[in-house]
């Protein structure tokens, strides 16, 4: 039995066709997305079709599921047409709307109601921005969905907005789903759009499916595969890893995310932690940074180097006191959407490629250490982390991450070369297989472990010193 798992991320679409019982990847496909924080969803659909074709099709698959980037605002009219380009999770223009929603209710109210304080990333703040900045477009809304919901709907061939379906992991990242019951809060949706609750209830929201539910079938041109509900990208990675309590997933993609599994909502009064749901019936509290692997990209491109060059320079070099505060695109943890990246400690001995390469790697690790410290406020017993995403491919980052974060870091790889690091797509594929094989165990994978050496404490202390200085200056 074959199944397909799809990861529609910020940067690209990946399709894995997998043996459902063993987890062996049989073939794969890929298509890129354009850069930017505002994207016409039609681009995702074109990329999905191209990636399916690149994978040799999915006509021989029994089931398929789509995991996707969270929070993206996709607004549809009554005919199911996209009203305006989707605002992505990393679009910070709604930061003012987030502040307004907190002023109207308080951060504690939102955390208790939805598990998250409003920040620019969440869908609810983007809807408030739309209501204020583009009221004519807001008035056209007949349905609201998220990227993976919309793609699942498109893959089904439906044109009826009432057929939209989502899962609890992605829905809980909207900012208008109850953190305990998993039901929509139409009063909060109404508040965001500045309409009455009756008007909000007239808007079609995707039905929230049960874990491992079959929600439909693909359009006939793609075969006869059943459709799984799909999930948010972090929940997809958690499925592939079989994530358990006491262990965190540490994902380095466009963003950086550290997440763990909880049996109940883990609420953070400070509002830095999002107490999302996972794709199994539990919760997935996480801390997310706006900046992730692009920290390395920016420095790599500035220096005219390859990723291998950066690894080589960072491994042999020393930052020589150079500290990068890597808020290139603003930041979410800490919540500073208008922040910018800043260099501290520039001296003659730090003006070289080795120091810049090393400081970029240290900055990424320190940013994630800060996210870990935030997560440990609500889930203190995190003993280790599993590193996935682009950062896991680096020869220097895993050990540096272990040193700076002060916990063992495992680097998993699947047992095939086709998609050794595609854990979001593998999680979607496993979800698809689980809809058909209810007793399916997590597919096995290999891993190596980097133990902390004790050499990262000074780097972390220096980073904290300069980040506090930056915060005082920015304030």
Catalytic residues: 233
Whether residue 334 is preceded by a cis peptide bond, meaning omega within 30 degrees of 0, is yes
Tokens 């095939």 correspond to what residue? 416
How far, in whole angstroms, is CA 75 from its chain's centroid?
20
Cα separation, 453 vs 409, whole angstroms = 12
Neighbours of 421 (CB within 10 A): 18
Measured distance between the N- and C-terminal CA atoms of the chain, rounded to whole angstroms: 57
- The answer to whether 235 and 157 have CB atoms below 8 angstroms apart is no
Cα torsion 60, 18, 88, 141: sign: positive
- The answer to whether 67 and 231 have CB atoms below 8 angstroms apart is yes
According to DSSP H, which parts of 20-94 are helical? 41-54
Cα separation, 406 vs 416, whole angstroms = 30
- The answer to whether 97 and 260 have CB atoms below 8 angstroms apart is no
**Neighbouring-strand partners of residue 272:** none
Burial of 375 (0-12, 13-18, 19+ CB in 10 A): buried
Please give the structure tokens belonging to residue 402: 């272990």
Closest CA to 443 of 231, 240, 238, 234: 240
Cα separation, 273 vs 286, whole angstroms = 6
**H/E run at residue 216:** strand 214-217
């Amino acid at each position: 039995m074959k199944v397909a798992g799809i990861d529609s991320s910020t940067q690209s679409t990946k399709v894995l066709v997998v043996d459902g019982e063993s987890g062996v990847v049989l073939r794969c496909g890929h298509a890129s997305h354009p850069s930017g924080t505002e994207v016409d969803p039609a681009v995702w659909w074109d990329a999905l079709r191209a990636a399916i074709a690149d994978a040799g099709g999915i006509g021989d698959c029994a089931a398929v599921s789509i995991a996707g980037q969270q929070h993206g605002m996709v607004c549809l009219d009554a005919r199911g047409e996209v009203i305006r380009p989707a605002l992505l999770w990393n679009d910070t223009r709604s930061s003012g709307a987030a502040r307004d929603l907190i002023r109207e209710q308080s951060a504690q109210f939102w955390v208790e109601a939805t598990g998250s304080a409003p920040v620019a990333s969440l869908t609810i703040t983007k809807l408030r921005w739309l209501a204020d900045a583009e009221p004519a477009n807001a008035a056209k809304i007949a349905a609201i969905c998220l990227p993976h919901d919309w793609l699942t709907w498109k893959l089904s061939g439906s044109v009826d907005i009432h057929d939209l379906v989502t899962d609890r992991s992605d829905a809980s990242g909207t900012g208008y789903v109850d953190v305990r019951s998993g039901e929509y809060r139409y009063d909060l949706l109404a508040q965001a759009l500045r309409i009455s609750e009756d008007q909000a209830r007239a808007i079609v929201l995707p039905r929230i499916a049960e874990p491992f539910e079959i929600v439909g079938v693909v359009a006939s041109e793609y075969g006869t595969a059943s459709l799984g509900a799909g999930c948010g990208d972090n929940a997809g990675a958690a499925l592939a890893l079989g994530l358990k309590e006491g262990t965190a997933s540490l994902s380095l993609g466009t963003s950086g995310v550290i997440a763990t599994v909880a049996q109940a909502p883990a609420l953070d009064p400070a509002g830095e932690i999002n107490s999302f749901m996972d794709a199994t019936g539990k919760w997935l509290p996480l801390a997310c940074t706006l900046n992730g692997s692009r920290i390395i990209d920016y420095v790599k491109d500035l220096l005219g180097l390859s990723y291998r060059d950066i690894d080589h320079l960072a491994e042999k070099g020393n930052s020589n006191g150079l500290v990068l505060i890597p808020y290139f695109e603003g930041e979410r943890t800490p919540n500073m959407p208008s922040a910018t990246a800043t260099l501290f400690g520039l001296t003659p001995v730090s003006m070289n490629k080795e120091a810049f390469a090393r400081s970029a790697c240290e900055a990424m690790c320190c940013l994630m250490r800060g996210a870990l410290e935030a997560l440990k406020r609500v889930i203190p017993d995190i003993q280790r982390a599993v590193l996935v995403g682009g950062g896991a491919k680096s020869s220097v980052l895993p050990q540096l991450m272990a040193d700076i974060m002060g916990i063992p870091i495992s680097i998993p790889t699947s047992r095939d070369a086709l998609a050794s690091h595609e854990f979001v797509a593998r999680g979607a594929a496993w979800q698809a297989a689980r809809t058909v094989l209810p007793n399916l165990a997590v597919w096995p994978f290999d891993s190596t472990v980097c133990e902390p050496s004790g050499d990262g404490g000074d780097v972390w202390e220096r980073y904290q010193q300069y980040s506090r200085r930056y915060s005082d200056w920015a304030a």
